[in-house]
């Protein structure tokens, strides 16, 4: 799903762009610290060991070349994975008219959980051992996380991708207000100006949206509130959660596992409560192999966003990462308009473009 999260629970919140990744709820967290944790383990093979560079000149040149191409490759991988996931989720929910968003979330989170567990067992990544005290502390965050994913699923079903992207800018505003009242964090005049432009673009885009859907907009507004709540709640819970880990910290992969694994029983309960199981047993679309290919690919891409965002951040830095995340909304929005043949008026197109550039202005304002 579209996402979004990029702040440190203690610091680094300035890089936030809550749209980029909601499936695992992690690549919007801890951008600065992330660069020295998982990415070091995953991509340490691209660095020479102590003494290797001195003894082998050709290898030195090879590492120089890799250093130059690293940001381009990692940035491309991050953009492709994030764009592809949003588009594939839209295909599953709208093109296949799949009306079981909670079940789709359950399937995607199950895929992420299995992969992270396998990577942990194989030693590729480090995962904190879960215990009841840690789980108990994390449950409030996880409930908001699940609600955020479900609302995002249903908003994407009823609202076109471009409008989802513009409306998600509201999350930045809610987060900034929450930070002001909860953490006494003040923003610069440029940031508030950018957020004012975001409000104008969201209102004008909604008014001029030919395919306006009241239910879809209600889901998206709920998603913005829940995404901001997730970010703010996570910031409060992180310090408490660290007390119940062996290492005294909680890395990004462990948060992926916590969010996705704990979401499964809650999702199963919702599937039963919303009677989605009866729908799944009777709907014909699940008999189509291509449906499962797309649903599985979207789940894999959700996890891929986490790893590629870590890789990209490791190769560049929070500033470039935040700016590219904002710029990445442009091709996502345009692709959504073209591929799904969204009815569009000229005022609505200008409102969408205005909102996209307001997002870029916001990212640059946060950097200054």
pLDDT digits (tens, 9 = 90+) for 26-64: 444 444 444 444 444 444 433 333 333 333 444 444 455
Report the alpha-carbon distance of residue 169 to residue 198 in Å, rounded. 6
Question: How many of the other CB atoms lie within 10 Å of CB of 268?
Answer: 14
The per-residue pLDDT for 202 is 92
Q: How many CA atoms lie within 13 A of 171 on its CB side?
A: 32
41-45 long-range contacts (CB < 8 A, ≥24 apart) are 41/124, 41/125, 41/126, 42/124, 42/125, 42/307, 42/310, 42/311, 43/311, 43/314
Q: Which of 18, 3, 88, 20 is nearest to 299 (CA)?
A: 88
The per-residue pLDDT for 296 is 94
Q: Is the pLDDT of residue 340 over 50?
A: yes
C-alpha R_g of the chain: 20
Torsion angles phi and psi, residue 43, rounded to 5? -115, 15
C-beta of residue 258 within 8 angstroms of C-beta of residue 138: yes
Q: Is the pLDDT of residue 361 over 60?
A: yes
Least confident of 179-188, 195-204, 208-217, 305-314: 305-314
Q: Is the pLDDT of residue 96 over 60?
A: yes
Report the alpha-carbon distance of residue 179 to residue 356 in Å, rounded. 23
Report the alpha-carbon distance of residue 27 to residue 209 in Å, rounded. 30
Structure-block tokens of residue 284: 């014909």
Report the alpha-carbon distance of residue 178 to residue 13 in Å, rounded. 12
Report the alpha-carbon distance of residue 162 to residue 204 in Å, rounded. 13
Least confident of 21-35, 213-227, 310-324: 21-35
C-beta of residue 337 within 8 angstroms of C-beta of residue 356: no
Q: What is the mean pLDDT of the chain?
A: 80
Q: What is the pTM of this model?
A: 0.78
Structure-block tokens of residue 149: 């994913």
With residue 338 as reference, give the H or E element that holds it: helix 329-339
Sole residue written with tokens 């014909």: 284
- The model's confidence at residue 20, banded by pLDDT at 50, 70 and 90, is very low
C-beta of residue 310 within 8 angstroms of C-beta of residue 251: no
């Amino acid at each position: 799903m579209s996402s979004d999260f990029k702040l440190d629970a203690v610091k680094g919140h300035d890089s936030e762009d809550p749209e980029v990744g909601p499936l695992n709820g992690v690549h919007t967290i801890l951008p600065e610290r992330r660069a020295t944790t998982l990415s070091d383990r995953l991509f340490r093979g691209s660095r020479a060991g102590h003494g290797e560079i001195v003894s082998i000149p050709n290898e030195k040149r090879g590492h120089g070349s890799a250093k130059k191409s690293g940001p381009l490759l990692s940035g491309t991988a991050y953009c492709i994975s994030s764009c592809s996931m949003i588009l594939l989720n839209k295909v599953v929910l709208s093109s296949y008219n799949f009306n079981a968003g909670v079940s789709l979330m359950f399937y995607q989170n199950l895929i992420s959980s299995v992969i992270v567990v396998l990577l942990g067992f194989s030693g590729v990544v480090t995962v904190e051992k879960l215990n009841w005290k840690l789980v108990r502390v994390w449950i409030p965050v996880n409930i908001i996380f699940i609600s955020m994913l479900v609302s995002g699923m249903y908003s994407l079903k009823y609202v076109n991708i471009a409008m989802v992207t513009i409306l998600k800018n509201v999350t930045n505003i809610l987060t900034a207000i929450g930070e002001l009242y909860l953490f006494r964090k003040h923003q610069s005049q440029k940031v508030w100006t950018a957020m004012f432009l975001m409000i104008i673009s969201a209102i004008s885009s909604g008014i001029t949206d030919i395919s306006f859907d009241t239910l879809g907009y209600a889901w998206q507004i709920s998603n913005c509130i829940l995404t901001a709540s997730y970010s703010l709640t996570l910031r409060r819970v992180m310090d408490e959660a660290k007390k119940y880990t062996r290492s005294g910290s909680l890395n990004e992969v462990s948060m992926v596992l916590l969010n996705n694994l704990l979401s499964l029983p809650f999702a199963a309960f919702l599937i039963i409560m919303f009677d989605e199981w009866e729908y799944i047993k009777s709907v014909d679309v699940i008999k189509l192999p291509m449906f499962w290919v797309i649903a599985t690919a979207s789940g894999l891409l959700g996890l891929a966003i986490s790893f590629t965002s870590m890789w990209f951040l490791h190769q560049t830095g929070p500033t470039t990462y935040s700016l590219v995340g904002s710029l990445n909304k442009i091709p996502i929005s345009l692709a959504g308009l073209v591929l799904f043949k969204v009815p569009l008026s000229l005022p609505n197109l200008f409102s969408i473009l205005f909102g996209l550039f307001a997002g870029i202005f916001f990212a640059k304002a946060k950097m200054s």
